[in-house]
Amino acid sequence: MNPARFRVLVSGVLIVGVVTSAILILVGFVGSIFVGWDGSFAGLPVAASRASDFSAVFSGLGALRPIAFAQLGLLVLIATPVVRVATSVLAFASERDWLYTAITLLVLGILLVSLFVIR
């Protein structure tokens, strides 16, 4: 993989992640104007939840709750750099550039530890 293709791949991952995140957050915001954050487009009864509680994101998506769309957008935004680094690992490994693969794996490990272990 040449450097130009590598840049295109990495920038594509970042663009897709940010655009997807922005669309999801916008859908949640526009939906909240019509039914409120805790409302539901499906007309299903829902319990109120805190905006910082991400435990019900997927069930909220099933109920078409605007807050769940916005929360998913935030999760996609947080995951975008992690996916970018994982893509870089695969790209370096496909080039058999083991030094950069190892360094990028270390960075990926640090990112994952900071997301899931450190609180």
List the pLDDT tens digit at each of the 119 positions of the chain.
Answer: 787 888 899 999 999 999 999 999 999 999 988 887 777 665 555 555 666 667 778 888 888 889 899 999 999 999 999 999 999 999 999 989 999 999 999 999 999 999 888 76
What is the chain written as a DSSP string?
Answer: --HHHHHHHHHHHHHHHHHHHHHHHHHHHHHHHHH-TT--TT--------TT--TTHHHHHHTT-HHHHHHHHHHHHHHHHHHHHHHHHHHHHHTT-HHHHHHHHHHHHHHHHHHHT--
CB 13 within 8 A of CB 87: yes
The domain spans of the chain are: 3-116
| Residues contacting 29, CB < 8 A, separation 6+ | 66, 70
Torsion of CA 82, 87, 89, 81, to 10 degrees: -20
